[in-house]
Amino acid sequence: MKRISVALLVVLLMSTLLTAVAAAEELVVYSTIFAGYAERMVQEFEARNPGVTVHVINPGGTEAMIARLIAERDNPRADIMHSGGSTEYAFAKSQGILQPVDLGDIGIPAEIPLGSGMLPTRDPENYYFSWAVLFSGIMVNTERLAELNLPAPTSYKDLTNPIYKGQIVSPNPLLSSTAMNNVLATIQAYGPDEVWELWDGINANIGLYSDSTSNTYNLVNRGEFAIGIVNNRPVFEYQMQGWPVEFIFPRDGAMVQDNAVGVVNGAKNPELAKKFIEFLLGEDMQRIGAEYLYTPIRPGVLDADNFVALENMAKQIDVLLLPDPEQAEASRGIIQEKFEGYIRQR
């Protein structure tokens, strides 16, 4: 009797495990975006495309997502790669895990004016597209600063002040693109040589290089460290949740970055994938994204004085830095060498 029930249980279990869900149309999106936004994105897309089921899979960080896509290269399971910045997408493109998609004219120019330059909104060969804009800079816990009787820093330069000794946390630039972009910002602001004098000073104050970018935010939220070197959007999110944190655009330079999206090479549903990207860049979803504090890339979606609007962000920035892929590539070696030194000497 017992054997029979065990056998039955096993059969039942195996059949649950092996049943493929037979939906009419499925779109698999790999994305590391915040869960609240991801849920809304799925809802909105499914509402506009009856019969379609969207699965969002988050492999735990943009790097892990790319690693998974590379591992699945011979038999892709995802249609869309979503979230992460152009730097990561350029790498993904070089690995052959993206395919180009021709969107035609969707009302977003290939470049939009920003600061004193032009910000590209897509890959010239259409392998990936920006859908939101963010900035690198400094996060502070105001309660903790007050407790320690410290002024809030206003620039990267301020972070070299010995009063902040041990109070700064940064992700490891050798592993985190968030930290890497902050370093690239300082290189553009101070030049490839003088910048290391600046970092010698900041490094002396850094209490912790975190191997986990997300944990950097947690540690500042919690007040374990008063200051973090990060990106703006998550800080706004935590502020909204009630944490005593603020984002500071460094006076000596804030680097613009993006959240991008692309179609996975060999996607099972290329047509649906294209539709999804059009939807993401469309006016509706761009406006909804702003509710979740994602600065729209599409011009004219928000009023210029809206807190999230690109115009409003740009207004608060003294020196707006645009990504310079050539300089970034040229600096890679020295960044590797310098930070390996900083981190291994600890």
Partner 1 sequence: MALEVEVKKQVYETPRTGFNWLIPIYVVATAFVVLFLVVPLGKVILETLGLIAGSESLPVDLLQYMMRITWNSVRLALLTTFVSLAVAIPVAIAVNKLRVPLGMGWTVLLTVPLITPPFISSFATILLLGRTGILTRFLNMLGVPSFSIYGLPGLVITQVLHLMPYSLLVIVAGLQSVPAHLEEAAHSLGESFWGTMGKVVLPYILPHILMGGTLVFLTSLGDIGAPLLVGGNYRVLPVEIYSNFVSFLGDDRIPVVFSAWIILMACLMMLVVNRLLKRTELKHSFRTRAITYDLPGLRRAATVFLALVTILFLLPYATIVVSSFGTVWTTKWLPNAFTLDNYKTAFTDSVAIRNSLILMAGAMPFTLFLSITFGQMNRDVPYMRWFDFITMLPFIIPGVVIGLSITRAWGAVKIGGFDLGGTVLVLLIAISIRRMPHAIRVLSAGFARIDKSLEEASWSLGASRSKTFKDVILPQLKPTIVASGVILSIKLITELGASLILYPPGWRTIPIYIYYYVSEGQIARGSAMGILLIVIIAVGNGIANRLTKDRGGI
Shorter beta-carbon distance to partner 1: residue 94 or 316: 94
Out of 26, 44, 246, 252, which residue is the one contacting partner 1 (CB under 8 A)?
Answer: 26
Q: Quote the distance between the C-alpha of residue 194 and its chain's center.
A: 28
Rounded Cα gap, residues 254 and 322, in angstroms:
9
Rounded Cα gap, residues 258 and 86, in angstroms:
7
How far CA 153 is from CA of 138, 157, 172, 320, in Å, comes to: 8, 9, 21, 18
Q: How many CB atoms lie within 10 A of CB 169?
A: 24
What lies within 8 Å, CB to CB, of 343 at 6+ separation is: 172, 174, 209
Q: C-beta of 176: minimal distance to partner 1 in Å?
A: 8
Out of 144, 233, 298, 338, which residue is the one contacting partner 1 (CB under 8 A)?
Answer: 144
By CB under 8 A, the count of residues binding partner 1 is: 66
The contact mask relative to partner 1 for 104-123 (x = CB under 8 A, - = no) is: --------------------
Q: C-beta of 283: minimal distance to partner 1 in Å?
A: 27
Contact 233, 196 (CB under 8 A): no
Q: C-beta of 315: minimal distance to partner 1 in Å?
A: 27
The contact mask relative to partner 1 for 316-345 (x = CB under 8 A, - = no) is: ------------------------x--xx-
The contact mask relative to partner 1 for 196-235 (x = CB under 8 A, - = no) is: -----------xxxxxx-xx-xxx-xxxxx--------x-
Concatenating the DSSP letter of every residue in 7-53 gives HHHHHHHHHHHHPPP--SEEEEEEE-S-HHHHHHHHHHHHHHSTTEE
Stretch near partner 1 under the rule CB under 8 A, chosen from 127-135, 192-200, 236-244, 275-283: 236-244
Closest CA to 133 of 148, 114, 151, 147: 114
Residues lying near partner 1 in the complex (CB under 8 A): 13-14, 16-18, 20-21, 26, 28, 34-35, 55, 57-61, 63-64, 66-68, 71-72, 74-75, 77, 88, 91, 141, 143-144, 147, 172, 174-177, 180, 207-212, 214-215, 217-219, 221-225, 234, 237-238, 241-244, 340, 343-344, 346
